[in-house]
A and B are shown apart, each in its own frame.
Chain A
């Protein structure tokens, strides 16, 4: 790849008139507001320079001026395809720092929704990724499934997207027993939907030809670039934080970590499809054996007291005010990572024992995976840039933060 680039930029080539193109920030295939400055030699891409920052909202700085609980809605808007997975990660970081024990049921509900969020993000990937390389109909089918899932999550959390559902110490509301059959039915029906996506894409010659061999990354290169998630696993490196650093209920669950062989766009697609099947496996185990108990910590030190007591007892009333306005995190530093749909999502929190974090760094997988765009595109054809972008699947809300 490098040799080809060097050959192309030699001045002895009379046809080396280079064309500079600005792709984005308003381009349908850039998944938000990404600008890619492309230098082309005919159809060949000599240089691809991603420009980020168009969606920068200063979230890390914002965290320093709000309380911990108030920052949860902001984490929703990082990777907006899997809002609750971001909330779970942030909650785990705070709980690790403050040493809060969450009950088993809360952990099970969190695992459950984290897997639903992975499915929802991968569904978007199948839809938009297919759309980017020309498969229009699969986009509609993927979105239909996602809408059905959102209807179920709506009855759990009250909102379809950007659900503010996770609290420090647990979740906001218990998973109603009446909802479990609906979730089970959706999960049971889902493998047939994956088969439909595969029928439309895997053996589709247009899709296959456009994805095969595009944006190849070697395992060595992938680790050097810091790739995580499906993009790393597609190169054959089977690192999944759910296995490598287990959190929540993952140690007790049976699932496989699928890996690819060649590390091209087609492998990234196959890995994501297989991950969806593994998600279904995890969800079935969880839904069949949902532990009973409380959905939020019983110890009232860090959580709001039950409403009934707030109405009738002065002590709980004062406690309610104290928790809302004056909950302090003990001083310390913590780095807590989870395996989000795109890779290792982590929060690095520094607390000085105040109401808000002294520093909150978000290790967003999209931002770091985006580095791979350059080696993927350079030396390839211009039309394959879109396939590379689609297969990387970065979310600009998370990239720019």
Chain B
């Protein structure tokens, strides 16, 4: 609808119902019975399901969809999968990511010399995960980020790097979520047995087809 178009007639096709506005009954004016009813209501709630969780004794176990802090996925040889393309650094809305690109002797040729995420800035929006063309940065299930100094929240490669086996659930979820409608090779989720056998990444020297 363009902005020039006039506002449709305010008189709705369906008449707007008036909210039921009533005066208080004698019993409500007198106050005692509604008061007792509310008290009974509150007391019965004591025996209902407990709405709160006794943290930290009872911890939340997040599902695969949960956005924890972003971490980097390691290759099978322990190096990061990241090729320092800088897409996550570009998209990051709070500019929490800082990458210093470098070169590597591995087949991926480029690798981050330094990869820093400022967890004080990170809003866990998962934009980095969505744009990453290498499945190199994913959201973990860690939600407890604590530290004594500001520097403790600035995570470098050493702190960020996790083996793919520790992120099986999330990697499968990422595959499933961003796959959309495409069912071609390389789109299947890894098997749910916990062993990460990724058709793209295991047993292949060069992950991408050459063009």
Shortest distance from the beta carbon of A271 to any chain B beta carbon, whole Å: 6
CB pair B63 A261 closer than 8 Å: no
Instruction: Tell me the complex Cα distance, A272–B8, Å.
Output: 24
Q: How many residues of B contact A (CB 8 A)?
A: 65
Asked whether A173 and B181 contact (CB < 8 A) given A73-B125, A259-B19, A261-B18, the answer is no
- Could you give 15 example pairs across A and B, Cβ below 8 Å? A71-B93, A164-B127, A199-B41, A208-B28, A238-B12, A258-B16, A258-B17, A258-B18, A259-B16, A296-B180, A304-B130, A308-B182, A311-B133, A320-B87, A321-B85
A164 lies within 8 A of B126 (CB):
yes
Chain A residues contacting B209 (CB-CB under 8 Å) are 312-314
Residue on B nearest A325 in the bound complex, by CB: B90
The answer to whether the Cβ of A383 comes within 8 Å of any Cβ in the partner chain is no
A309 to B180, CA, bound (A): 11
Is the Cβ of A266 less than 8 Å from the Cβ of B21? yes
Partner of B177, one of A155, A159, A173: A173
Name B10's contact: one of A141, A159, A239 (CB within 8 Å).
A239
Q: Top 9 A-B pairs ranked by shortest CB distance?
A: A308-B187, A238-B16, A307-B178, A164-B125, A306-B182, A158-B67, A270-B19, A144-B51, A306-B180
Chain A contact residues, CB within 8 Å of chain B: 66-67, 69-74, 137, 141, 144, 147, 154-159, 162, 164, 172-174, 196, 199-200, 203-205, 208, 233, 238-239, 243-245, 256-262, 266-267, 270-271, 273-274, 294-296, 298, 304, 306-314, 317, 320-321, 324-325, 334-335
**B-to-A contact residues, CB < 8 Å:** 1, 3, 7-8, 10, 12, 14, 16-21, 24-25, 28-29, 31, 34, 37-38, 41-42, 45, 51, 62-63, 65-67, 85, 87, 90-91, 93-94, 123-127, 130-131, 133-135, 139, 174-175, 177-187, 200, 207-209, 211
The residue that A156 contacts in the complex, of B19, B65, B94, with Cβ under 8 A, is B65
Tell me if B65 and A205 are in contact (CB < 8 A): no
When distances are taken between beta carbons in the complex, the residues of chain A under 8 Å from B175 are 307-308
Bound-complex Cα distance A270 to B174 (A): 44
Within 8 Å CB of A203, what residues of B? 24-25, 28, 34
**A224–B188 Cα gap in the complex (Å)?**
59
* A-side interface mostly: helix
Contacts A261-B21, A307-B179 given; does A312 touch B185 at CB 8 Å: yes
List, in ascending order, chain A residues with CB within 8 A of B87's CB.
320-321, 324-325
Among B20, B25, B135, B179, point to the contact of A306 (Cβ < 8 A).
B179
Contacts of B178 in A (CB 8 A): 304, 306-307
**How near does chain A come to B159, taking the closest CB pair, in angstroms?**
22
The interface residues of chain B lying within 8 Å CB-to-CB of A311 are 133-135, 186, 200, 207-208
Q: CB distance B7 to A245 under 8 Å? A: yes
Q: Are A158 and B14 in contact (CB under 8 A)?
A: no
